[in-house]
Amino acid sequence: MSSDTSIGKVLDVDPAETGFRLRTKHLGPPKVADLPEPPSGWLKVIGPGIVGAGVGLASGEFILWPYIASQVGLVFLWGAVVGVLTQWFLNMEIERYTLATGETALTGFNRLGRHWGLVFAIMAYFANLWPGWATSSAAMLSYIFGGTPRWIAIGILVVVALILTLAPRIYVALERLLTVKVILIGGFFILALALVVKGDTWAELPQAVTNFGRFPAELGFALMMGAIAYAGAGGGQNLCQSNWIRDKGFGMGAHVPSLVSPITGEKHAARFVGAYVFRDTAENRDRWKRWWKFANVEQLATFVLITILTITATSLLARATLYGRDDVENNIGFLQVEGQVLAEVVGGWFAVLFWAIGAFSLFAAAVGIVDYTTRLMADVLKSTYLRDREITESRLYTYLVLAIVGIGIAILLAGLDQPLVLLVISGCTAGVMMFIYSILLLVMNRTALPDSIKVRSYRVAALVWSTVFFGFMAVLALNEQLRKLF
């Protein structure tokens, strides 16, 4: 009645008997296997949330939110909490589908309509074609060592390509890199808060709660709403949470081999391209409850907590050093000014440490951004368009990494500034993506999953809120960018 394969025990059970209602026209029927036993210890489940937080801790956390604090103090920090919690609900619905099926959310969207996944993957590509995180990291290194940021950025892109094509297990390398990033950031800001932030700044922190719902008019509505919307992650990065938990082996993702380097990685047997679903048994229902609890706590303890604490720390530091100055702007130059002030307050060594931590942080974000952009595209191409071809998802991923890094290097060698059209696309893409996939998640997790595990109650309300909020943000961002264009 059952057979053992290289990827787990597949049961000889009709998928229709499981309660799953996955559309099969484009992707074929699922296989049936038991839901694996959850990890026995909390430390074993930690990982994807740290990756999500580590990739997301980039320009928004180091520039945008500190810039806001330098202008209006800490009265708007409540917005970061709203934004991060909204993304937590989104992340959990993205994870729900993968925990239950072993398929990524993008593949699940393709079961609703064949090309939905490709639409999102292309949007993520266009949003990230310009190597902005690499150039920002290079700029911070130039504050320390001098040199031309363009050439430093090219070197950073080469290192990114080497990491993502030579790591034997790509997810493991990414998790380790971003865990180091989170630890270094945490250590730095503990030191910074102790040396720089004084009593009057700490006394202002409760205003983040007492001013809940207040929008400081001097910031501009678009800036404030954008800060809320993209606190933490945004756009394609949230979608990739399902790819990362699949590679980590969460839930039914344990039946699917992870991405490996075609050069240095282990050789896997060709995997079944499709979903794995589990029977509605008492044992599987108990395991699901434990998996769902693990996944929620993991996201809260890592993605949510790390992001909120980091935004709070960077904002406190900016409030203590830059509040009231009129020579700061919402761009990479903000970090140069902040470092110069830190040198005056603490010493030159502290400015160097600040820029070094910032450069490493943005470098690690660049690794994560290239990873999730290409991971989404490789997943869509293999699962939907190249299902019957011999090429593996790992090899597709490698080719796509080299392609996006090559495009970035070509742009830098040409000496081009960011084209306005890419700026418009980047500014509008994340909000549009999140608006659309909030709707698709609601439909998919209500109609495709068994009644016992489908989304319900207040989580449905959270998806409705996400749809309304990001729909409004998409219209606002598009209107603002079109005004700049014309």
Which of the listed ranges 7-16, 193-202, 257-266, 383-392 does the model predict with the highest average pLDDT?
193-202
CA distance linking residue 385 with residue 378, whole number of Å: 10
Q: Helix, strand or coil for residue 15? A: helix
Spatial neighbors of 199 by CB under 8 A, at least 6 apart, are: none
> pLDDT at residue 203 above 90?
yes
User: Using CA atoms, how far apart are residues 287 and 62, in angstroms rounded to an integer?
Assistant: 40
How many CA atoms lie less than 13 Å away from 324 in the CB half-sphere?
2
In this prediction, residue 484 has a pLDDT band, given cuts at 50, 70 and 90, of: low
Query: Could you report the per-residue pLDDT of 395-433, keeping only the tens digit for each?
Result: 999 999 999 999 999 999 998 766 656 656 666 678 888
| Per-residue pLDDT tens digits for 321-332 | 999 888 888 788
49-62 residue pLDDT tens: 999 999 988 878 88
Residue ranges covered by each domain of the chain: 2-485
Helix ranges, 60-104 (H): 65-72, 78-101
Q: At what angle are helices 170-195 and 348-380 packed, to 10 degrees?
A: 150
DSSP 386-437: STTSS--HHHHHHHHHHHHHHHHHHHHHTTPPPPHHHHHHHHHHHHHHHHHH
Who has greater pLDDT, 226 or 270? 226
Give pLDDT, residue 257: 81
Contact between 282 and 34 (Cβ < 8 Å): no
| Residue at token pair 């700029």 | 139
* Longest distance between any two alpha carbons in the chain, whole Å: 73
Give the residues across from 4 on adjacent strands.
9
Helix, strand, coil % in the chain, rounded to nearest 5: 70, 5, 25
Residue 447 pLDDT exceeds 90: yes
For the entire predicted model, the pTM comes to 0.92
Fold type of domain 2-485: Amino acid/polyamine transporter I (1.20.1740)
DSSP string, 359-373: HHHHHHHHHHHHHHH
Q: Is the dihedral of CA 260, 429, 88, 329 positive or negative?
A: positive
The residue among 200 and 5 whose pLDDT is bigger is 200
Overall average pLDDT of the 353-382 stretch: 94
Using the structure block, give the residue that is written with the tokens 């209006």: 72
